[in-house]
Amino acid sequence: MTASLEQPSAPRHGVWRLEIVLLLALLTTALGAGGVLHFLKWQHDKQAHLAATETVLQEGEALLDTLSGFNMATATNLTPVRWRQFSTIVDSAFSVRKDVQSISVSRDGVTLFHRQAGGLRDAPRPPQPPGMTPADTPPGESETEMSQGSLEIGGVRQPVFVITRTQRLPDGSQVVTEATFKREAVGAEEQTARALVSSLFAFAVGVLILAFAVCAGVLLVAVARDRRREARARQEEHLAFSGVLANGILHDFRNPMSAVRLDAQMLGKELARDDGFRPERVRDLAGRIARTMARMDKIFQEFLFLARPADERPEPVDLDQVVRECADTLAPRAEQAGVTLRALPHDPLPPAAAYPFALRRALLNVLVNAIQFAPRGSEVTVVLGQQDALLALEVLDRGPGIPAARRQSVFDMFVTGRPEGTGLGLFLARTAVRRCGGDIQALARDGGGARLRITLPAATPNPPTPNS
């Protein structure tokens, strides 16, 4: 049936949704990669900070080792010259290390020496502890630790790192040497390690952004290209559909037009009889022409509904009536071909659930195909039956039959076994039958010939209403 041809597909409205999903996936991947880079940079910065702190601690310990070598807190025979030498060493430390804020030495809580960047304050000489001799006291065990604190510098408290070395002397006293470093000391140390990684991180982020932009551009270009291809395919599909539709219209109108032409020729011959025409024959031919024209009008109306097939609903169809109407339409063609159309008797059958016009078109095309291949003097038989919930309609002929290898492809578009054939008859028949919810098969017939079986669902009786 031509009215049931599959129309060209509408533009896909999900293209934008696909683009958004792909772009979001790409963006998510880029953000994930950026997050991984940021995490790695954070880990490196953390390790760089720890390494810088360790470096400052080592340098502080080296400075304290140098200062401890003078034994300023453990000696009792100190002279002004010795104090000036110690101060010179401290000034050298300040000049070499700009981040050193202060240096102090104390013993048992008494400050012996304190020098802050920019000034010098010497404590009084400590008294000689009991039991001490003028000789230097040998150093005892020592430990070094690092802590954070704050120091008032110029009236403003600033954070500092304090490196403290505590020495325990044999007499039980404690000597504490402290070196205070500005907090920028750690920052200066780690800045060198972080500079290269920060540059690499900025470069990686730039490459990632560039890659995202390139991928997004390629994606958009690919989608735009697919849209253009889809538009061309739809246009070609529309053109192909229009061609098939035109061929279908010609095919569906050709059968009844042939019947009208043959009936008109026979009517002319009847009227030209020398012994006078037979009124019964004239009425029969005229009535057949009128019925064929009415069917052609129905076919035309069916094509008018092609654009809105969803408005139609399957309805109960009497298969016997459809067979009679089709046999009546093709009677002139069968008579001219010398073929007899016959429907075998059968048990009462329920109506089929189908589209009436579509089913007539399908059976008409199958019968025309059987008449074209049936030899003169043979019979084309229509058999009706029921198999469970399906109704079966078979058309049998004694023609050459359909080879097993072609029993599927024979229903494809433009496949024909006759040079003058269009290859649309069985294709339109299958399309119409499947639209009705059924199917059509090409089978072999015992004794030679073809057997085409149409199966349709039986109509479900409507439930009675309360008023019925």
- What does the pLDDT read at residue 103? 84
- What does the pLDDT read at residue 322? 92
Asked if residue 64 lies in contact with residue 163, where contact means CB atoms within 8 angstroms, the answer is yes
Categorize the per-residue pLDDT at 8 as very low, low, confident or very high, splitting at 50, 70 and 90.
Answer: very low
Q: Cα dist. 109→131, 174, 327 in Å?
A: 20, 8, 128
The angle, 0 to 180 degrees and rounded to 10, between the axes of the packed helices 319-337 and 279-304 is 120
pLDDT in tens, 292-321: 887 777 666 655 544 444 456 788 999 999
The better pLDDT of the pair 9, 77 is held by: 77
Q: How many CB atoms lie within 10 A of CB 440?
A: 21
pLDDT in tens, 243-276: 666 666 666 677 778 888 888 888 888 888 888 8
The lowest-confidence range among 10-24, 263-277, 441-455 is: 10-24
- What does the pLDDT read at residue 417? 65
Report the C-alpha gap between 165 and 176 in whole angstroms. Answer: 6
- What does the pLDDT read at residue 420? 56
Share of the chain above pLDDT 90, in %: 13
Q: Which domains does the chain have, with CATH numbers?
A: 1-124+140-232 (3.30.450), 313-457 (3.30.565.10)
The better pLDDT of the pair 322, 1 is held by: 322
- What does the pLDDT read at residue 91? 80
- What does the pLDDT read at residue 75? 61
Torsion, Cα of 43, 48, 53, 58 (10° steps): 130
pLDDT at 139 over 80: no
pLDDT at 129 over 60: no
Averaged pLDDT score across all residues of the chain: 76
Categorize the per-residue pLDDT at 133 as very low, low, confident or very high, splitting at 50, 70 and 90.
Answer: very low
DSSP collapsed to 3 states, 22-60: HHHHHHHHHHHHHHHHHHHHHHHHHHHHHHHHHHHHHHH
pLDDT at 394 over 90: yes
Report the C-alpha gap between 60 and 325 in whole angstroms. Answer: 113
pLDDT at 445 over 60: yes
Categorize the per-residue pLDDT at 418 as very low, low, confident or very high, splitting at 50, 70 and 90.
Answer: low
- What does the pLDDT read at residue 319? 93
Beginning with the edge strand found earlier in the chain, give each strand of the sheet holding 141-153 in spatial order.
Answer: 119-122, 110-116, 100-107, 174-182, 156-168, 141-153
